[in-house]
Amino acid sequence: MTVRLGANRYGKAETRLVHVVRNGPVHHVKDVNVSTFLSGDMEAVHLTGDNSAVLPTDTQKNTAYVFARRHGVGQIEEFALRLARHYVTAQPTVHHARVEIEEYGWHRAGPHSFVRDGGEVRTCVAHHDRDGRTTVVSGLRDLVLMNSTGSEFRGYIVDEYTTLAPAADRVLATAVTARWRHTAPEASSYAKSYAEVRQCLLEAFTGTHSRSLQQTLYAMGERVLTTCPEVCEIRLTMPNKHHFAVDLTPFGLDNDNEVFHAADRPYGLMEGGVLRDDAPDAGFAWE
């Protein structure tokens, strides 16, 4: 029997970076979490412990800090692309760079005072390789949404293990993770695109009478693709955050969908993608 080295990469995970832009008395804050992953001529380090092809992960951490000081952070997609291209260009042994960034929002409370946003986290993943191929996937996670009516679930398979009663009117709640692929990364205005995609997700969720969470998921993806021409594919992960009406009859009370137990687990989990017929090959975009 013979064995060989398979696909591999290494990097620095979760470098926390806060960049304060000091515009006179009015400051601006970028709060991000940067993870970098490099691959290429790395056989020797795995097979013999030869580190001559390895850029230390500590160096990758420092590079993120230096680039923030020299160039600023700006849109996280732009920062991720800048870092990815640097590693591939500057290091002959690095053939492919993957940079993932999370951004945490802050609301202004004064010229130099801020309140941490408790809402969703903005995300992106940028890839760049030695052949000049570049992809950008933007996204968000923890966008918590709820419709208190306008949702049902019935007509499903019933077998000997089914106990769930059909619901003609139920609470629909979820925490959306969405990732969308840009057709031409260089042509995208990332801030504008993010705002438009987020608005599409909200409008489709609130405006769809839901017969299943899967139907709502597709409606959200469809709205994005029909509204945002720069996006060619979107993938969504949506847990069903169950709300069960509490039985109040032991206390002599009815409960017409007013009092609920918000269950933590287990929960249904829906995942799906929506893409244009003419979407270019994804390559390594989703890796």
- Of 82, 86, 85, 98, the residue nearest 137 (C-alpha): 98
Q: Angle at the Cα of 115 (from 113 to 116), degrees rounded to 5? A: 135
Cα radius of gyration rounded to whole Å, the chain: 23
Residue 188 near residue 136 (C-beta atoms within 8 A): yes
- Which residue of the set 28, 57, 93, 227 is catalytic? 57
Residue 9 near residue 57 (C-beta atoms within 8 A): no
Query: Known catalytic residue: 57?
Result: yes
- Which residue of the set 61, 128, 241, 242 is catalytic? 242
Query: Known catalytic residue: 12?
Result: yes
Place of tokens 């390594």: 284
Residue 142 near residue 121 (C-beta atoms within 8 A): yes
- Of 279, 81, 87, the residue nearest 183 (C-alpha): 279
Residue 67 near residue 139 (C-beta atoms within 8 A): no
What are the catalytic residues? 12, 57, 242
